[in-house]
Amino acid sequence: MLKRISLLSLLVFTLNVSAYDEALAAKMDKTFSNVTQAKIIKSKGKGVIENKELFKMLREKKKFTFLDVRTEGEMAVLGLKTKNTLEIPLEHLFEKKNLDRLPKDELIVLVCHSGSREKKAIMSLKMLGFKNVRLMKGGLVGLAQGNTAKNAPLK
């Protein structure tokens, strides 16, 4: 009886050790194997948009999509009012119907409250093949800090 329990325990442990998504691990390896120290130094800031740059893009009517990944409750209290904003909470972002809403041929700027969720979302979107994605430095907080009469787009 003890031998059977030990054998069963070993079998369960072995199954748990190899119980990960190999296809996803391969995608992650492909994505993160390129994140070398030299590339990080060279690309410093390229994946981030500062609030001044974003306000300039809005004033010049540059084509891009704002992707707000905050919760529905957060969006209800305070939302982005640009016509190019997509509001898709992070918890629903990777549903097929929502991924299909994202533009394939233009810049996507991710925003959340402070920047932590958008960092998770941007890495995942890049792993899925979305190449032209950047994050709003500091999230909505960073955007609000740069919102002055001088920076705000004219109506």
pLDDT recorded at residue 88 = 94
* Number of domains, the chain: 1
Q: Which domain holds residue 90?
A: 38-145
Evaluate whether residue 105 is within a structural domain: yes
| This prediction's pTM | 0.71
What per-residue confidence (pLDDT) applies to 67? Answer: 94
pLDDT at position 37, please? Answer: 67
Residue 8 domain flag: no
Q: Is residue 74 part of a domain?
A: yes
Strand ranges of the sheet holding 133-136, from the earlier edge strand across to the other edge: 48-49, 133-136, 107-111, 64-68, 85-87
Instruction: Let me know if residue 106 belongs to a domain.
Output: yes
Asked whether residue 7 is assigned to any structural domain, the reply reads: no
For the chain of 155 residues, list the mean pLDDT of each consecutive stretch of 10. Answer: 56 58 79 66 69 87 92 82 88 94 93 82 87 87 74 62
- Tell me the C-alpha distance between 54 and 65, whole Å: 11
- For residue 114, the domain's CATH number is 3.40.250.10
